[in-house]
Amino acid sequence: MKVIGLCASPRGENSNVKIALETALEAAAAKGAETELIDVAKLQIMGCQADNYCKAHDGKCAIDDDMQKVYKAIEEADGIILGTPIYFIDVTAQAKLVIDRMYSYFMHEPSQELFSKKTFSIITTNGASEEEVYMPQVKAQLQAFGMLGFQTGEIVTLSENNEPLAIKEKEDQLEKARKVGENII
């Protein structure tokens, strides 16, 4: 059993959602999972070029960049947790780069079959927006993973985390993150 976290915040070690992901992964590890956190915001990942190379090449993307490592990690994982701050009432551009590149698997039956055994969940952090403002967008992104064949897990939103590392003092939010890690197993 392997659970990976994809961190789509550019803040690196100062990121609240990165701490939430680490907390979720620790909880998964405590239940026996092998875990890995990938800081996708620090990788070189191009946007999907819509060249449809993947459609003629068994779901393989033509772009030879760091997304190839992310594809491999997703294919090998049983549970995937995307961690993204909310930027202008949506996931970050860094998260969207990864999501769009998942198009290589779209309508690819062997991938659908592979992903049907995997669960995809999302943890978000934000400053002050009301949940109902950004939740439709986050739900739509999770739905995209459902279209790719994944079992759609949960969405957890962690608010009032504008200040770097603010979440460290919020045991209630860390507990919510922990539950995501436990539930994905």
**Under the rule (CB under 6 A), what is the footprint of ligand FMN?**
9, 11, 15-17, 85-89, 125-129, 161-162, 164
Residue 147: count of CB within 10 angstroms of its CB: 13
Residue with Cβ nearer ligand FMN (113 or 130): 130
Smallest distance from ligand FMN to CB 165, Å: 8
Smallest distance from ligand FMN to CB 169, Å: 13
Residue with Cβ nearer ligand FMN (89 or 114): 89
Smallest distance from ligand FMN to CB 184, Å: 19
Smallest distance from ligand FMN to CB 127, Å: 3
Smallest distance from ligand FMN to CB 145, Å: 21
Residue with Cβ nearer ligand FMN (46 or 89): 89
Residue with Cβ nearer ligand FMN (4 or 167): 167
Residue with Cβ nearer ligand FMN (114 or 135): 135
